[in-house]
Structures are given as C-alpha cells and as structure tokens.
Amino acid sequence: MPPSSRTSYPAPGNLSVPTPDPLPNSRTSLAGLRVVEYGDGVAAPFAAKLLADLGADVIKVEPPAGDRSRSLGPFPGDEPDPERSAQYIALNTNKRGLTLDLDTETGRRLLLELLRASDVFIENAPPGVMERRGLGYGALSHVNPMLLAASIRPFGLTGPYRDYLGGDLTAWHGSALGHRYLGEPDREPLRASGEYASYYAGVNAAAAVMLAYHGRDRIGQGQLIDISETEVLSVSTLGYGLVSLFYEKGLHNARRGSAQRGGVPAAMLPCKDGYVFIFASEAHMWDGLVKAMGSPEWATPEMFRGRYEVRAPYGPEIYAMMQPWLDQRGKEEIFLACQEHRAPSTAVYDIGEVFGNFHLRARGFFIETRQPGLGAMELPGPPYRMSLTPWVLRRPAPRLGEHNAEVLCGRLGVSSGELARLRKAGTV
C-alpha cells in the first residue's frame, strides 16, 4: 500500500513509543524439522507457514497448475498473475516450492520418497482425494512409521459428513456461529468476511503437530492428526461456555446485534470518524467513562452508578446524551481517553488504519520483504515474540516449481535427464 493511502494515527503525547530492541541472535526453534505441505488455499499453507517461520524446512508441493491462491489475488494493478498474488505470497514465505502431479504414479512415488525422510506432512485435499490416490495415512505410515500427518477437512476424517465438501461458510454455520454471532436478533444470521475456519484450522494443525512432535520419541512412532474446520470454530470461537449454558439451562444465547444484552453502555456507537465500542460493565468503569466524557452533569446522578444492569432501563436516554460527546471526537481520541480512565472501549479500525497504526509499527509487526517480480512489499509479521529463538523471514514465497531441481535432484537423487523427462510428461 502506498504511504499516501494509509490512515496513520500518530503516537499521543503522553505515550512513549519504544524502538524494538535488536534480537540477540538468529537461532530458530524448529531448525532441522522437515515438513512437506500439500496445501491449497489457506488452511494447510498457513499451518505449514507457522512452522516455516520458526525455522522448519518446509517443501510446498503444488500440482503443476499451482495452488488456487495464485489465482485469487489481490494482484498489483488488479492484473492477474500467478506469481504476484498477495494472498499466495503472504501464506507461503519461508518455503521451498515443488510441483508434482499426484494423479500420476510417478508423482505419487516421488511424494512418498520425499515423505520417507520427512517428519511432518500437512495437507487439506478435498475429502477422499488422498485415499483414492493411495496416499491415505496407512500408506504414508508404511513408508515412514515416524511420520506425523495432519489432514484438514471441513468435517474431519470420520463421521457421517466426512465426505462432504465445504468452506468457511459451511464451517461457520455448521458450528452454530451463525446463530450466535453477527446480525440483529430478529434478522437472518450473518457470516463474518474472510476465512476464519481455515486460519483457525491452520493454527490448530500447527499446534497439534508440535504436541505430537514433542511426544513422538516417547511413544516411538508417528500418528495421524485429524482436524475438522467446523469443530475448530465450535471450540475456539463459539467456546465451551455456550455449550455448557445450553446443557445446564437450555439457553441458546442468540446473536445480539450491535448492543450487548443486559446493560448500558455496551454497544457499538458512532463517533466523529467512525465507530467505537464501549462496554462499562462495572461501577468503576462507568465512573471512568464519566470522567473521560468530562463529568457532564447528566451522567453524575446516583441512580446511574453501579453495574451496567442498573442503567439498562435508561438506555435510550443515556445513549442519546452520550452522542454529542461522541460526535465531537474521533475514535482514537475516545479510545485513549477511556484507557486513561480505565473505561473499556475500542476504536473500530478498518484495515488501512491498522496498517498505519503507530502501536503495530512500533512493535515492528509489518515486515518488509522483496518478492521476485514485485520488489519491496510489506507483510504481516508474527503474532508472537520469542527472545532467544525469534521469527525470521528467510526467503520469499516460491515461484511455481522454483525448487524442482533442488529438491528432486539434490534431495531425492533424480538425474537431470529424468527431471527433463518428468517435465516433458507434465509430472512436474
């Protein structure tokens, strides 16, 4: 994004913005871990990227036509180019790239040879595809009994729905999130934009791989890791609490719209330059909000003090009296004033405001890289910091088949003549 198109909030005067300290060394947590990814779209590529970012040697296997992310973009200048897709690049840095047609006997043989000397295999092929190719876990474990294989599916590898296709929309509503989140209570349910199920599935797959890797030497063998995108959302976003609430009391706790149930203020509210969400649930939080607003006379009566339930009967009046204060101030000013007085709130940012946010910039969250054919570009960095084994951006996303010779000849011993024949046959 060019600098002129960013919305940047400057650091407020009463906050110091530190410069990130140089990392003490360049060791990585997963150096020596060999991972093969047969990923398409988001889930498996993101899982493998999380491991690659910590030093694992990840070989990304694509069909000769490439990962579908290459065709999705967004693209610079809105001109489709499989080597310039922002989504593909962001999900595949720190990997090497190999093309194999797994619908051919030779392609399957080469994959098995690659897995013979690997620790981890991560894939999110459509249901039934790997099994029909003879690449189910039984075949993989026969080649390498120590292999950890993570398979990501819309509904998992077992159960009545195991062969069903699906995407984020399926997982979102199959997990009851459509009933619980987003939308007004008396209207149809909505779905959040983006691919929540795929990203959460990727995180869970990477975490499960690490847990299995930790225990592999103790149990003396590899294992199959079965990830259901629908179940991932049921646990990580819907949560156990709502299941328990239904089990104990039969309550569904349906979507709430822009305001929380049961108290005031607890709502998304318009302000001078957008929206803020304010949630003053405890007595001290309300007192802090009153101070942030400059202690207006209307907000000081004793009948408004206490938990947010006591203000619920006066909700329309309170929101109406807050509105002039909101209309005169921007979201960042409101957020900082509420923070100063311990009143929970948040500015509702758009992506441009996040990209220019001084806090994220101070933490070095956005990382500059150089992608062949694109030059310098910025990507999101890691959502974690490790002091001794830091995240490192070691290589750009691979071009289609970029490392065919390096992997096939250098690692599997394929001759240059055989590689030429594989290319001619369309196997790579």
User: In the 3-class helix/strand/coil scheme, how is the chain assigned residue by residue?
Assistant: CCHHHCCCCCCCCCCCCCCCCCCCCCCCCCCCCEEEEECCCCHHHHHHHHHHCCCCEEEEEECCCCCHHHHCCCCHHHCCCCCCCHHHHHHHCCEEEEECCCCCHHHHHHHHHHHHCCCEEEECCCCCHHHHCCCCHHHHHHHCCCCEEEEEECCCCCCCCCCCCCCHHHHHHHCCHHHHCCCCCCCCCCCCCCCHHHHHHHHHHHHHHHHHHHHHHHHCCCCEEEEEHHHHHHHHHHCHHHHHHHHHHCCCCCCCCCECCCCCCEEEEEECCEEEEEECCCHHHHHHHHHHCCCCHHHCCHHHCCCHHHHHHHHHHHHHHHHHHHHCCCHHHHHHHHHHCCCCEEECCCHHHHHCCHHHHHCCCEEEEEECCCEEEEEECCCCCCCCCCCCCCCCCCCCCCCHHHHHCCCCCCCHHHHHHHHHHCCC
Confidence of residue 277 (pLDDT cuts 50, 70, 90): very high
Same domain, 73 and 174: yes
Same domain, 122 and 65: yes
Mean pLDDT computed over 337-363: 92
Range of lowest pLDDT (156-160, 191-195, 397-401): 191-195
Name the residue with higher pLDDT: 251 or 417. Answer: 417
Domain assignment present for 413: yes
Confidence of residue 1 (pLDDT cuts 50, 70, 90): very low
Q: Which domain holds residue 285?
A: 266-348
CATH, residue 222 = 3.40.50.10540
Q: How many domains does the chain have?
A: 2
Whether residue 374 has pLDDT greater than 70:
yes
CATH, residue 285 = 3.30.1540.10
* Sign of the CA dihedral with 201 first, then 203, 208, and 213 last: positive
Domain assignment present for 197: yes
Q: How far apart are CA 298 and CA 291, in angstroms?
A: 12
User: What pLDDT, on a 0 to 100 scale, did the predictor assign at position 347?
Assistant: 95
User: What pLDDT, on a 0 to 100 scale, did the predictor assign at position 5?
Assistant: 46
Domain assignment present for 381: no
User: What pLDDT, on a 0 to 100 scale, did the predictor assign at position 260?
Assistant: 59
Query: How much is the CA Rg of the chain, to the nearest whole Å?
Result: 26
Confidence of residue 246 (pLDDT cuts 50, 70, 90): confident
Beta partners for 242? Answer: none
Domain assignment present for 386: no
Name the residue with higher pLDDT: 310 or 7. Answer: 310
Cis status, amide bond into 64, omega within 30 of 0: no
Same domain, 181 and 289: no
Find the Cα–Cα–Cα–Cα dihedral 64, 67, 73, 79, rounded to 10°.
0
Domain assignment present for 10: no
Same domain, 102 and 213: yes
Q: How far apart are CA 309 and CA 285, in angstroms?
A: 13
Q: What is the pLDDT of residues 5-63, one digit of tens each?
A: 455 555 554 444 344 444 344 578 899 999 999 999 999 999 999 999 999 999 999 99
Same domain, 159 and 277: no
Same domain, 231 and 93: yes
Percent of the chain predicted with pLDDT > 70: 89
Residues counted in the chain: 428
User: What pLDDT, on a 0 to 100 scale, did the predictor assign at position 210?
Assistant: 96
Q: What is the pLDDT of residues 111-166, one digit of tens each?
A: 999 999 999 999 999 999 999 999 999 999 999 999 999 999 999 999 999 999 99
User: What pLDDT, on a 0 to 100 scale, did the predictor assign at position 390?
Assistant: 83
Name the residue with higher pLDDT: 254 or 101. Answer: 101
Whether residue 283 has pLDDT greater than 80:
yes
From 76, 69, 71, select the one nearest 90 (Cα to Cα): 69
Q: Which of 315, 348, 381 corresponds to the end of one domain? A: 348
User: What pLDDT, on a 0 to 100 scale, did the predictor assign at position 345?
Assistant: 94
Same domain, 60 and 132: yes
> Across all residues in the chain, what is the average pLDDT?
88
Same domain, 223 and 88: yes
Q: Which of 319, 348, 377 corresponds to the end of one domain? A: 348
Domain assignment present for 200: yes
Specify the pairing of strand 266-271 against strand 274-279: antiparallel
User: What pLDDT, on a 0 to 100 scale, did the predictor assign at position 82?
Assistant: 93
Mean pLDDT computed over 394-399: 94
Specify the pairing of strand 57-62 against strand 95-99: parallel
pTM: 0.88
Same domain, 62 and 207: yes
From 371, 243, 373, 269, select the one nearest 330 (Cα to Cα): 269
User: What pLDDT, on a 0 to 100 scale, did the predictor assign at position 318?
Assistant: 93
Q: What is the pLDDT of residues 229-244, one digit of tens each?
A: 999 988 876 665 666 7
CA of 329: how far to CAs of 293, 323, 346, 407, 423, in Å? 10, 10, 14, 58, 62
Q: How far apart are CA 181 and CA 183, in angstroms?
A: 7
Q: What is the pLDDT of residues 68-89, one digit of tens each?
A: 999 998 898 899 999 999 999 9
Domain assignment present for 258: no
Same domain, 89 and 149: yes
Mean pLDDT computed over 322-347: 96
Whether residue 262 has pLDDT greater than 70:
no
Same domain, 152 and 198: yes
Domain assignment present for 83: yes
Same domain, 119 and 182: yes
> Phi first, then psi: what are they for 9, rounded to 5°?
-95, 120
Specify the pairing of strand 224-228 against strand 148-153: parallel
Range of lowest pLDDT (16-25, 93-102, 105-114, 180-189): 16-25
Cis status, amide bond into 160, omega within 30 of 0: no
User: What pLDDT, on a 0 to 100 scale, did the predictor assign at position 116?
Assistant: 97
Mean pLDDT computed over 407-418: 95
Q: Which of 330, 348, 366 corresponds to the end of one domain? A: 348
User: What pLDDT, on a 0 to 100 scale, did the predictor assign at position 215?
Assistant: 94
Please give the structure tokens belonging to residue 107.
Answer: 């392609």
